[in-house]
C-alpha cells in the first residue's frame, strides 16, 4: 500500500506535502502510521504540479526511495502551484519496480495515483493499453481512456448525485463531476471482477480533487485557503477527518463532498 497526498487551494510548494509536515510523505515513506499493507514505501515516488492554471501539469517521478534523491528537496521548494499531488510507493508483490509503474500517472491535464492492489486480469479489460504492467498503470489508463471519451457537459453546474443531505453544490464544476463519475465507474468495474481489490484512487485536473476510499484509509483536512486529501494525516492536527470506506470524495478549493460508492 502506497501513500498519496494532494492539495488544492492557494499556491504552495510541494514541500508542503513532502518535507514540511511532521508526517509528510517523506516521513510516511519509512514510518507510515495508518498503513495496512506493507511497512516501507521505498519502491519509488512521484510528484506533480501545475505551472500555470490553464497549463498541463509537470510530473517528476523516480523508481528510487524518496529519501535517496538528493535533488528533490530543492526542486520541491520551488515547484509550487494551487494544485499538488505526490505519492510514495510500496510495490505490490509481482509488480515491476520502474518509473512507468510509479504514480502520479498523467495524461493531458489529469493526474492519478493509486493505493492498493487489483488482479491484473481484472483491469486489463478496462483499457486498451498501459505504460507499465503494474496494476496501477492499468487503472490510470482505464480512467484516462474514459475521460478522453467523455465530452464536458458545458460550464453549467450539474447536481452531484450522491450528496445527501443539504443543498446541492452548485459550485462544483461539471469537470469535477465527470472526474468523480469516471473514478466511480472504474472502481466499481474493477471491484466487480476482483472482490478483494483495494482501490483508493486520487485524481485531479488542476481545478478539483476526486478520491475514492475502497479498502484503505483516506483523510481530508479543510483549511481556510484550501483542502488537503491524503491516505493518512500529514500531522496530528485535529482537523483531519477520515473518509468512510467505499466513498467518493470531491473537493474544490472551498468545497468538499463525500458520497457512498
Ligand atoms: N499495486 C500498486 C503497485 O504495485 C500500488 C501499491 C500500493 O499501494 N502499495 O504499485
Q: What ipTM does this complex have?
A: 0.96
Pairing of strands 247-252, 209-213: antiparallel
Q: Measure 247 CA to ligand 1 centroid, in angstroms.
A: 20
Q: Measure 55 CA to ligand 1 centroid, in angstroms.
A: 28
- What are 113's strand-pairing partners? 202
Q: Measure 120 CA to ligand 1 centroid, in angstroms.
A: 12
Question: What's the pTM value of the predicted model, to 2 decimals?
Answer: 0.92
Residue 103 near ligand 1, beta carbon < 6 Å: no
Pairing of strands 58-62, 80-88: unpaired
If you average pLDDT over residues 68-72, what whole number do you get?
A: 98
Burial per residue of 55-64, b for 16 or more beta-carbon CB atoms within 10 angstroms, e otherwise? ebbebbbbbe
Q: Which of 90, 123, 137 to mutate to test the pocket of ligand 1 (most atoms within 8 A of CB)?
A: 90
The full set of domains in the chain, from first to last, is: 3-260 (3.60.20.10)
Confidence band (pLDDT; 50, 70, 90) for 177?
Answer: confident
Confidence band (pLDDT; 50, 70, 90) for 34?
Answer: confident
- Report the C-alpha gap between 32 and 20 in whole angstroms: 15
Q: Which residues are catalytic?
A: 2
* Most confident listed range (95-109, 154-168, 243-257): 95-109
* 43 closest CA partner among 18, 68, 71, 64: 64
* 25 closest CA partner among 78, 71, 89, 82: 89
Q: What is the pLDDT of residues 203-249, one digit of tens each?
A: 999 999 999 999 999 999 999 999 999 999 999 999 999 999 999 99
Amino acid at each position: 500500500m502506497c501513500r498519496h497526498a494532494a492539495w488544492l487551494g492557494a499556491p504552495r510548494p510541494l514541500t508542503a506535502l513532502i518535507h514540511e509536515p511532521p508526517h509528510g510523505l517523506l516521513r510516511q515513506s519509512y514510518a507510515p502510521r495508518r498503513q495496512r499493507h506493507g511497512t516501507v514505501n521505498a519502491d519509488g515516488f512521484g510528484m506533480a504540479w501545475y505551472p500555470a492554471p490553464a497549463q498541463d501539469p509537470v510530473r517528476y517521478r523516480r523508481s528510487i526511495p524518496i529519501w535517496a534523491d538528493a535533488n528533490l528537496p530543492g526542486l520541491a521548494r520551488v515547484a509550487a502551484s494551487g494544485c499538488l499531488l505526490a505519492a510514495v510507493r510500496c510495490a505490490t508483490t509481482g509488480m515491476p519496480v520502474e518509473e512507468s509503474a510509479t504514480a502520479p500517472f498523467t495524461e493531458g491535464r489529469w493526474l492519478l495515483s493509486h493505493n492498493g492492489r487489483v488482479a491484473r486480469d481484472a483491469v486489463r479489460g478496462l483499457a486498451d493499453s498501459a505504460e507499465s504492467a503494474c496494476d496501477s498503470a492499468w487503472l490510470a489508463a482505464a480512467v484516462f481512456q474514459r475521460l478522453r471519451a467523455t465530452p464536458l457537459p458545458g460550464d453549467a453546474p450539474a447536481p452531484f448525485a450522491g450528496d445527501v443531505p443539504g443543498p446541492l453544490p452548485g459550485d462544483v464544476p461539471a469537470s469535477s463531476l465527470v472526474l468523480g463519475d469516471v473514478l466511480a465507474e472504474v472502481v466499481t468495474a474493477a471491484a466487480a471482477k476482483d472482490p478483494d481489490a483495494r482501490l483508493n484512487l486520487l485524481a485531479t485536473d488542476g481545478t478539483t480533487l476526486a478520491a475514492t476510499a475502497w479498502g484503505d484509509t483516506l483523510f481530508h483536512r479543510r483549511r481556510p485557503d484550501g483542502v488537503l486529501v491524503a491516505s493518512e494525516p500529514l500531522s496530528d492536527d485535529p482537523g483531519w477527518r477520515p473518509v468512510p470506506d467505499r466513498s467518493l470524495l470531491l473537493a474544490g478549493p472551498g468545497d468538499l463532498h463525500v458520497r457512498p460508492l
